[in-house]
Amino acid sequence: MDTSNRTVFLPGATSGIGLALARHLRAAGSTVVVGGRRADLLETLAAEGFTTVAIDVTDPASVESARDTVLHEHPDLDTVVTMSGVMLVEDLRDPAHFAAAQKTVETNLLGTIRLVDAFTPHLLARGSGTIVTVTSGIGFLPFPLMPTYAATKAGVHAYSEALRAQLAGTGVEVTELVPPAVATSPEVKRSNPAALDLEEFVTEVMGLLGADPTPHEILVEGVRMHRWAERDGTYDELVARRSQALVTLPGR
């Protein structure tokens, strides 16, 4: 993937990993459109020089409107990165967790499917392009404090595999970005000292995206222990270690 001349749409990239990736792609020479829900963040990014578009991936009409806007302004769009996602803590002993579970599924899994459905016909018509789905190391090595988040990311992984198989031979690539814990803010770093530095993570991601051929999975070194835990025989030990975070739930 030549990151120096792409036209990229990154919905859900108004902060964190998505914004850092958008900045790196633009610096490499690509045209970048950033999508998001918050008008204030979109205004700030527009002032920074980004093209922006409002989008809520839980709303089918919003996704269709954003697609039409992006393709009208950038008919040469060739890359879509499905960055939108939420990470919510849930206590499965309390039925009230269902609201968080529903929001997580609606955003992370169904939101990804809506985005893919919205832009796949355009990419197929042009005969080339790349869809980058975004999962997580937690999709391969669950974090019991965020059960539905893990389930949705595992679901996006499976969906990505099926999408790649169905689009084989069309010229449209499907690549899965698998982040580990990344320090997207000083608060994240304080709460999780093992989280990767954001700039180091995105720099490594850019190098992997530029490989020829583009890998099916973008795996930075820091996520490999999670991706291959079952193969390496460390799965049970690492899940047990992650389960220690459950003590932070009320009443534990």
Question: What pLDDT, on a 0 to 100 scale, did the predictor assign at position 227?
Answer: 98
- Write down the pTM of the prediction: 0.95
Mean pLDDT across the stretch 93-100? 97
- How far apart, in whole angstroms, are the C-alpha atoms of residue 120 and residue 35? 17
Whether 77 and 71 have beta carbons less than 8 Å apart is answered as yes
The pLDDT value recorded for residue 207 is: 97
pLDDT of residue 186: 85
Tokens 């709460």 found at: 191
pLDDT at 184 over 90: no
Give Cα 252 distance to the centre of its chain: 31
Omega within 30 of 0 (cis) for the link into 179: no
pLDDT bracket for residue 189 (50, 70, 90): confident
Amino acid letter at 109? Answer: L
**Total residue count of the chain as it appears in this document:** 252
Mean pLDDT (whole number) for 43-60: 96
* Mean of pLDDT values over 18-35: 97
Look over the chain and give the mean of its residue pLDDT values, rounded to a whole number.
96
pLDDT of residue 185: 85
Q: Which of 111, 103, 115 is nearest to 146 (CA)?
A: 103
Q: Please name which of 133, 193, 140 lies closest in space to residue 163, comparing C-alpha atoms.
A: 133
What percent of the chain has a predicted confidence (pLDDT) above 70? 100
> What does the pLDDT average to over 10-39?
96
pLDDT, tens digit (0-9, with 9 covering 90-100), for 199-246:
999 999 999 999 999 999 999 999 999 999 999 999 999 999 999 999
